[in-house]
Amino acid sequence: MTKLSVNINKIATLRNARGGNFPNLIKVAKDIQEFGADGITIHPRPDERHIRYQDARDLKKVVYTEYNIEGNPIPDFIELVTEVKPTQVTLVPDAVDAITSNAGWDTIGHKEFLKDVISRFKSQGIRTSIFVDADEKMVEGAADTGTDRIELYTESYAADFATGKKEGLQPFIAAAKKAHELGLGINAGHDLSLDNIRYFKENIPHLLEVSIGHALICEAIYLGLENVVNMYLHKLR
C-alpha cells in the first residue's frame, strides 16, 4: 500500500494572503486526516511565506497520522525539527529564495554534511528522507549518508507524462530498484496529480509514500477537498 501525505502549504498561503486565521490550518489538517489521508506534510521556509515555524509546533498537537516536515537543514530548521520531533524529516536543498523545490541533493558532494544532519535527527528517533533526482548514483550516495528513505523528485516524470512521453518513467523505475537493493525506503513527490499518479504508482516498485500538495489543493477548488483526498486514495490503492 502506498500512503498519501497531503502537503498543506497552499492552505497556509491562502490564510496568509489576508491575515487572520481563515482558512484555519489546524482544522484543515484535522479534516484531511478524517477524510482518510495517511499523513500531513509541511515545508516551512525561512521567510515563512506559507507555513510558519509556529504552525509546525501547533500541528504536532493534532496530527495523529504521519507527520512529515520538509526543508533545507539550516540551523533554524534543524532546531525546529528536533523540538517538534515529527514522524519523518525530508531534507530538501532549497535556496533561500526558491519559489518551490527544483532539484534533488548532490548526495556525493554533500555526503559528510548530510551524514551529520541525519545522525542528529535519527538520534532523536526521527525517520529521515533525502530529496533526490532519479539518478542511481545519487541514490547510492544517499545510502552512504545513513538515511532511512529517499524521496524521488518527480517533476520531470510529470512533465513527460503530460506530453505522452511515458518512457520518462524509466529512470524512476531504475532509481527505485536501486534504492530497494540498498535497503532504502522510497517516497516520491512534486507535480504528482490525479492525472499521473496511478501510472506512477503502478510502475514504481516498493513505493511507500507520496507527498502531494499543490495539485491536490488546485483540484479541490473544483472537486472539493474530501472528494479529492479520496480520489487519490482510490488511485493509490
DSSP string, 138-203: HHHHHHHHT-SEEEEE-HHHHHHHHTT-GGGGHHHHHHHHHHHHTT-EEEEESS--TTTHHHHHHH
* Burial class of residue 124 (count of CB atoms within 10 Å of its CB; 0-12, 13-18, 19+): exposed
Would the pTM of this model clear 0.85, i.e. be above it?
A: yes
pLDDT at 96: 60
> Is the torsion defined by CA of 184, 145, 157, 13 positive or negative?
positive
Least confident of 13-27, 82-96, 103-117: 82-96
Instruction: Write the pLDDT tens digit of every residue in 133-179.
Output: 999 999 999 999 999 999 999 999 999 999 999 889 999 999 999 99
* Least confident stretch, 73-77, 83-87, 163-167: 163-167
Quick one: average pLDDT of 85-100? 81
Tens digits of per-residue pLDDT, 109-123?
Answer: 999 999 999 999 999
For residue 107, give every residue at least 6 positions away whose Cβ sits within 8 Å of its Cβ, in sequence order, or none: 114, 130, 132, 138, 139, 140, 141, 142, 144, 145
Per the listing, cell 509546525 goes with 56
CA atoms within 13 A on the CB side of 231: 17
- DSSP reduced 3-state for 204: coil
Residue 162 structural domain: 3-236
Of all residues in the chain, what percent carry a pLDDT higher than 90? 94
Domain CATH code at residue 133: 3.20.20.70
**∠ at Cα 33 (27, 39), nearest 5°?**
115
With contact defined as beta carbons under 8 Å apart, do 219 and 226 qualify?
Answer: no
Q: In this structure, is the dihedral angle defined by the CA atoms of residues 141, 199, 234 and 24, taken in order, positive or negative?
A: positive
For residues 125 and 206, give the distance between their C-alpha atoms in angstroms, rounded to a whole number: 23
Beta strands in 30-165 (DSSP E): 39-42, 66-71, 88-91, 127-132, 149-153
Residue 100 above 70 pLDDT? no
As a whole number, mean pLDDT of residues 93-109 equals: 76
- Catalytic residue IDs: 43, 70, 190
The model's confidence at residue 102, banded by pLDDT at 50, 70 and 90, is low
Mean pLDDT computed over 84-95: 93
Indicate the pLDDT class of residue 101, thresholds 50, 70 and 90.
low
Q: Give the total number of structural domains in the chain.
A: 1
Read off φ and ψ for residue 127, nearest 5 degrees: -65, 140
How far is it, in rounded angstroms, from Cα 231 to Cα 236? Answer: 9
Q: Is the pLDDT confidence value at 202 over 80?
A: yes
